[in-house]
Amino acid sequence: MRKILVSAGEASGDLYASLVVEELGRILPGTEFFGCTGPRLRAAGVRTVVDAASLAVVGLVEVVSHIPRIYGEYRKLLAEARQQKPDLAILTDSPDFHLRVARKLHQQGVPVVYLVAPQAWAWRQGRVRQMRRTLHRLLCIFPFEEEFFTRHGVPTTYIGHPLAGLVRPALGRDEFFRKHRLAAERPLVTVLPGSRRGEAARHLPALIDAVRRIYRERAVNVLLPASVTTGAAFFSARLAGSPIQVIEGESWDAMAHADLALAASGTVTVEAALLGTPMVTFYQVTAASWLAGKFLVDVPFYSMVNLIAGRAVVPELMQRQMTGANLAREALHLLADQPARDRMKDGLAEVRLKLAGGSAAPQRAALAIKDLLEGKVTHVS
């Protein structure tokens, strides 16, 4: 029986990897999958060795206290790989964890496919050397990445962004508003603090302050769709007395029907762009992590939406700029200024067009993996 190790360290990677596993199950029936899983990979039939939730930590400094636990999970995954001897491994995102796993698997003779490229084009370019040595194939999801990694000698295939063919609301606006008892005459502001508990907790004080300031200026509906990894209960006590209504999941509907999103920089901003939702982006880490990152990061923008567009389509409020006052000012401006909203929507349409080829991303990824398994592609080093 063919065996494939699959590992994803966070919610977006869990989703992308699950789509590829489902496609592989169709074209390679009888394959056994095991590894580091979130709920999507488990639903796709991947046997859990390590729970992906145990790896969800953000920040150069924040991760330090979690190293012993993460190292334990790392050893557990590799021990299972030694015992099971997989024919191939699919590692998804989370480069601090997975590039180390890739090196060990390569030493064991396991071909490694890496799904969702580390952002070596932005920082820590030294990773490219290791990727060149240990990866059989890098599957990238952003159009500008293929040229960069190919130029640096990493065997790379651009598959498109998996969300491009997936992101859509399940309900119409009227039905969604009725379901959550929202006032139809008021605009909807959707708050997206981040999919991990640590980043959500760090962002909430400024977001609560911003929403209160917005609310003083105009009547709005405010929703916070809790991610699978945080859960709605996480926010209950933290949001007591604020105008923010928490719902469980339904983030695509909450974005699609929003007049504006306040969105933590990350995958959710790509989702909002694909849905055409105007947004203000933000992010904060600890002061130590930010200082360390400033010396390592070399990009003109922090938001993936602006990086894909090649220009400033959406506002970015990073670190000290992320205050309740600044968020509220940007939000009130966009809610009041229809021409500004229309210009932003035009920019988001450009981003959507650049990512449009991604509807077949899982199929492209699965076919590339099938070729590797069948020996049609060899490692280039």
CATH number where 85 lies: 3.40.50.2000
Report if residue 201 sits inside a domain: yes
Residue 380 is assigned to a structural domain of this protein: no
Measured from the Cβ of residue 288, the count of other Cβ atoms closer than 10 Å reads: 13
DSSP 66: G
- Indicate whether 209 and 157 sit together in one domain: no
On whether both 149 and 210 belong to a single domain, the answer is no
Which domain, by its residues, includes 26? 3-161+357-373
> CA-to-CA distance for 2 and 22, rounded, in angstroms?
15
- How would you class 60 by CB atoms within 10 Å of its CB: exposed for 0-12, middle for 13-18, buried for 19 or more? middle
Q: Which residues of 109-134 are buried (b: 16+ CB within 10 A; e: fewer)?
A: ebbbbbbbbbbbbeeeeebbebbbeb
**18 shares its domain with 137:** yes
Instruction: Let me know if residue 166 belongs to a domain.
Output: no
Identity of the residue numbered 24: L
Verify that 152 and 185 share a domain, yes or no.
Answer: no
Instruction: Say whether both 42 and 85 belong to one domain.
Output: yes
**Domain for residue 269, yes or no?**
yes
Both 70 and 81 in one domain: the answer is yes
Residue whose pair of structure tokens reads 């070596």 in the numeric block: 120
Tell me whether residue 20 is in a domain. Answer: yes
In angstroms, the first-to-last Cα distance of the chain is: 29
Radius of gyration of the chain (CA): 21
- Residues 364 and 129: their CA atoms lie apart, in Å, by 25
Q: Which residues pair with 5 in a beta bridge?
A: 34, 89
Name the strand (E) or helix (H) holding 370. helix 361-373
Query: Is residue 81 assigned to a domain?
Result: yes
> Do 302 and 319 belong together in one domain?
yes
* In a domain? residue 369: yes
Q: Which tokens in the block code for residue 179?
A: 């379901």
In terms of domains, do 101 and 215 share one?
no
Q: How many domains does the chain have?
A: 2
Do 271 and 365 belong together in one domain?
Answer: no
Asked if the structure places residue 168 within a domain, the reply is no
The answer on 327 and 189 residing in a single domain is yes
- Phi-psi region at 214: left, alpha or beta (left = phi > 0; alpha = psi -120 to 50): alpha
Same domain, 45 and 180: no
Residue 90, beta-bridge partner list: 6, 113
Q: What is the pLDDT along the chain (381 residues), one digit of tens a residue?
A: 899 999 998 888 999 999 999 999 999 999 999 999 999 999 999 999 999 887 764 444 444 445 667 778 889 999 999 999 999 999 998 888 899 999 999 999 999 999 998 876 555 667 888 899 999 999 999 888 898 899 999 999 999 998 888 899 999 999 999 999 999 999 999 999 998 888 899 999 999 999 999 999 999 999 999 987 788 999 988 998 899 999 998 999 999 999 999 999 988 999 999 999 999 999 987 655 545 555 445 566 778 899 888 899 999 999 889 999 999 999 999 999 999 999 999 999 999 988 876 568 999 999 999 999 988 655 544
Q: Does 121 lie in the same domain as 224? A: no
